[in-house]
Structure 1
Amino acid sequence: MRFADRVALITGAGTGIGAATAARLAAEGAKVVLTGRRPDPLNEVAAGLGDAALVVPADAADSAAMANVIEKAHERFGRVDLVVANAGGHGLGTATDTSDDDWKLALDANLTSAFVTVRAALPDLVDGGGSVVFVSSLAGLFAGPAVAGYTATKHALIGLTRSIARDYGKHGVRANAVCPGWVRTPMADIQMAHIGETKGLSREEAYTLVTENTPLRRPAEADEIANVIAFLAGPESSAVTGIYLTADSGASAVDLPTIALA
C-alpha cells in the first residue's frame, strides 16, 4: 500500500495509460482525482474504484477549469500529493501540413495541459513534498514521420520535467517523465487501424509491424506503463528527480543504421 493516504490527480484518466494508472494507484491505497474532457469514460473508470475516485471533467489546458479541479479535490480529499500529467495526443502532420490551429491544438493538448495542471497543483505539492510524473513519449526523444507538433511538444515535456525538478526540488517536490513507445491503447488502436488500411493488414499485424525492430517485438500494455508511473511517483524512487525513463520495448536501445544487418 505504497500510496495509502495519498491523493493523486490524473489527467487523461478516462482511457489507456491514464485509466490503468488510476487503477494501479488506487489498488495501493491512493485516492484518485480523475479528469479529462469526456465524462462518460471517466465515470466508467471511477465505477470500478468506488469511494477512492473523484471525477471532475475538465480541459487540462484551461487554467480556470484546473483551478476548479483542485478545489473539488480539496473539498473531497483535502489536498493533492501526486500529479500524473497524462493528457495529450494531437500533433499529426509535417510542418508544412500543420496549420496555426493544428499547432495550437498540439501545444494545448500535450504541453499546455501538463503545465497548467502542475502549476495549479504546485502549492499542494510544495506543502507536502509531492511528486509529478509527466507522460511524454519516445517522440519526446526522437522524431517519427509526419508528427511535427506531437514530436515538438513531447520533447518540450522533458524540458518542463527538468525545470520543475530544478526549481521545486528544494521544497521536496520531485518531477520525472516516462517515455513510452507503442502501447496498446484505444488511441494506438486507431493508429493501427489506419496503418492496416494503408498496408492491407489487420490491427494485430500492424502492431507487429511497428514493433518488429524492437528487442521485445511487442507493444507495451497500459498496465506496464502504469507500473513505471507508480515507481516514479512512489517512495522507491525518492532520490530520483529530473529524469526520463523509457518504457519502449527496447526501441531506444536499437542502433538504427544496423537494422539492415540483423
Structure 2
Amino acid sequence: MSEMSEQRTVVITGAGTGIGEACARLFAAQGARVALVGRRREPLERVARETSGLVLEGDAASSADWARFIAQIAANGAHIDALVACAGGFGSGNATDTDDAAWAAAMRANLDTAFVSARACLPQLIARRGAIVLVASIASLAAGPAVCGYTTAKHALIGLTRSLARDYGPLGVCVNAVCPGWVRTPMADAEMQPLIERYGETLDAAYRRVCADVPLRRPADAEEIAAVCDFLVSPAASIVTGATLVADGGSSIVDVPTLAFDPL
C-alpha cells in the first residue's frame, strides 16, 4: 500500500507454515522484504533461507515480544508497510468441554495474536499509509461442530477488522479480513485424521469428503489464499477497507437445506 519508493516490508505472523509461509514466499518473490513471526525457530529459519526473511521468534500475542520485533525490524533498516496476521489454531470442543485454560488459549491464538500484532505495527502503518490483512476463516461466518473457542475467536476477528478499519481509515490504513474455507496445510491435514481413521481412506479422499458439497469441489492451496492477501495489500485494493473477502470455493453460499435436491 505504501507509495514510497524504497523496498516495502511485509510482516507475517504464523509465517513458518501454511498460509503464512505461502505469503512469505509470494511477497519475497515480488521483491518485498519479509519479517517472519512465529513461535518455532526451525520452520521460520527454513522459510527465511528461501526468502531472505528476517526471523522474529516469539509470541505474536505478547506485547513484550512485539517491542523486540519492532526493534529488530528497525535495526535491519526496514519500515513496516503491511501486516498479514496468519497466526491461529486451538479452540476445539463444545462449551461444556472447554475449560478456562482452553478458552483462554483459543482467544490468545486466534484473536489476541491479531490484535497485539496490529496494535504494535499501527504506528508505522499509519506513517506509511499501509495495510493490514487478518486471516480469519469461514468459521468467522458460521459454526462448525464442537469448535466453540475457535468459532468465537474467528467471529471476533471480523469485529476487530471493522473496528480497525473504522478508526484508522482516516489515517490512510486499509484493514481487511480473508475468510478461507478448507486449505491444504499441515494444520488441516491433521484435522483430516479422524475421517481417515473412521472411513479407512487416504488424506486426498478425506479432503474430497469435506469438499463434497463445496461448489468448486476442492480445498484451496495455501498459495491461492496468499494471492488474495497479496491483492489486499497491493495498490489495486487501495479503496478496499473493512471488507471480509471469502475465499472458500463457494462453500458459504450453499443453502444447506436444499442439498438433498442437488442433482450432481
TM-score normalised by the shorter chain: which range applies? Answer: over 0.9
Q: Which position in structure 2 is the counterpart of 1:179? A: 179
Separation in 2, partners of 1:128, 1:81: 6
- State percent identity of aligned pairs: 54
Q: Which position in structure 2 is the counterpart of 1:122? A: 122
Separation in 2, partners of 1:34, 1:97: 34
Q: Which position in structure 2 is the counterpart of 1:168? A: 168
For the residue of structure 2 that corresponds to 1:89, the secondary structure is coil
List alignment gaps of at least 5 residues for structure 1. none
Separation in 2, partners of 1:103, 1:198: 28
Q: Which position in structure 1 is the counterpart of 2:109? A: 109
Separation in 2, partners of 1:149, 1:202: 29
Matched residue count: 259
Q: Which position in structure 2 is the counterpart of 1:207? A: 207
Aligned 1:95-244 pairs, distance under 5 A? 95-244=95-244
User: What is the identity, as a one-letter code, of the residue corresponding to 2:25?
Assistant: A
User: What is the identity, as a one-letter code, of the residue corresponding to 1:123?
Assistant: P
Separation in 2, partners of 1:77, 1:233: 21
Q: Which moved more, 1:249-258 or 1:197-206?
A: 197-206
The alpha-carbon deviation at position 78 of structure 1 amounts to 2.7
For the residue of structure 1 that corresponds to 2:23, the secondary structure is helix
The alpha-carbon deviation at position 234 of structure 1 amounts to 0.8
Q: 2:18 aligns with which of 16, 19, 33?
A: 16
The alpha-carbon deviation at position 60 of structure 1 amounts to 0.5
Separation in 2, partners of 1:54, 1:67: 15
Q: TM-score, normalised by structure 1?
A: 0.97
Q: Which position in structure 2 is the counterpart of 1:31? A: 33
For the residue of structure 2 that corresponds to 1:207, the secondary structure is helix
For the residue of structure 1 that corresponds to 2:127, the secondary structure is helix
Q: Which position in structure 2 is the counterpart of 1:6? A: 8
Q: TM-score, normalised by structure 2?
A: 0.96
User: What is the identity, as a one-letter code, of the residue corresponding to 1:37?
Assistant: R
For the residue of structure 1 that corresponds to 2:245, the secondary structure is strand
Q: Which position in structure 1 is the counterpart of 2:59? A: 59
The alpha-carbon deviation at position 29 of structure 1 amounts to 1.4
Separation in 2, partners of 1:93, 1:172: 40
Q: Which moved more, 1:110-119 or 1:71-80?
A: 71-80
Q: Is the 8 Å Cα contact of residues 193 and 202 (structure 1) preserved in structure 2? A: no
User: What is the identity, as a one-letter code, of the residue corresponding to 1:173?
Assistant: V
The alpha-carbon deviation at position 161 of structure 1 amounts to 0.3
The alpha-carbon deviation at position 203 of structure 1 amounts to 1.0
Separation in 2, partners of 1:255, 1:27: 39
For the residue of structure 1 that corresponds to 2:96, the secondary structure is coil
For the residue of structure 2 that corresponds to 1:8, the secondary structure is strand
List alignment gaps of at least 5 residues for structure 2. none
* RMSD, aligned CA: 1.2
> What is the CA deviation profile of residues 48-107 of structure 1, one whole-angstrom value per residue up to 9, with x for unaligned ones?
112xx1001010111100111111111113311100011001100000110100000000
Separation in 1, partners of 2:254, 2:62: 39
For the residue of structure 2 that corresponds to 1:80, the secondary structure is coil
The alpha-carbon deviation at position 127 of structure 1 amounts to 0.8
